[in-house]
């Protein structure tokens, strides 16, 4: 399958998708660790994630998918939300909690 198509399906089929370096249990980059912690703080401890270090095709493809050159990348309900800076700002403003509210209750 084409990698862009694969990513499209992943973000479409999962309410929360995080493309990161390492895993939620063992992040291998400080920014990815921050992203995981923020999701947990929003009441979303479990979510779909892709370790781009083990998926070089996705690591390259995800940068074109959102026209965004860095990892991590968060998608909620199929929409690109941002990287760790934007996640932190949205969390501090309470926006991310609102965005994730419906999802957090189900988990």
Partner 1 sequence: MMQPEQVQKIIADGLPCEHLQVDGDGHHFEATIVSAEFAGRNRIQRQQRVNAVLRAYFDSGELHALSMKTHSPEEWMASRG
Positions touching partner 1 (CB under 8 A) are 30-31, 63, 67-70, 80-86, 89-90
Shortest Å distance, C-beta 71 to partner 1: 9
Shortest Å distance, C-beta 106 to partner 1: 26
CB of 84 or CB of 107, closer to partner 1: 84
Shortest Å distance, C-beta 105 to partner 1: 25
- Tell me if the bond preceding 72 is cis, omega within 30° of 0: yes
- The tokens describing 8, both together, are 């499209």
Shortest Å distance, C-beta 41 to partner 1: 19
The sign of the dihedral angle between the CA atoms of 45, 25, 60, 30 is positive
CB of 48 or CB of 68, closer to partner 1: 68
CB of 1 or CB of 86, closer to partner 1: 86
CB of 9 or CB of 79, closer to partner 1: 79
Q: Which H/E stretch holds residue 18?
A: strand 16-20
Helix pair angle (84-93, 30-41), 10° resolution: 30
d(CA 33, CA 56): 20
């Amino acid at each position: 399958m084409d990698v862009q198509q694969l990513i499209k399906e992943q973000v479409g089929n999962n309410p929360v998708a995080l493309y990161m370096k390492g895993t939620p249990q063992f992040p291998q980059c400080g920014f990815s660790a921050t992203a995981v912690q923020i999701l947990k703080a929003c009441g979303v401890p479990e979510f779909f994630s892709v370790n781009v270090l083990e998926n070089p095709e996705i690591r390259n493809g995800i940068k074109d998918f959102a026209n965004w050159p860095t990892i991590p990348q968060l998608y909620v309900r199929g929409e690109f939300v941002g990287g760790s800076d934007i996640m932190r700002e949205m969390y501090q403003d309470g926006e991310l909690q609102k965005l994730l509210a419906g999802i957090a209750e189900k988990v």
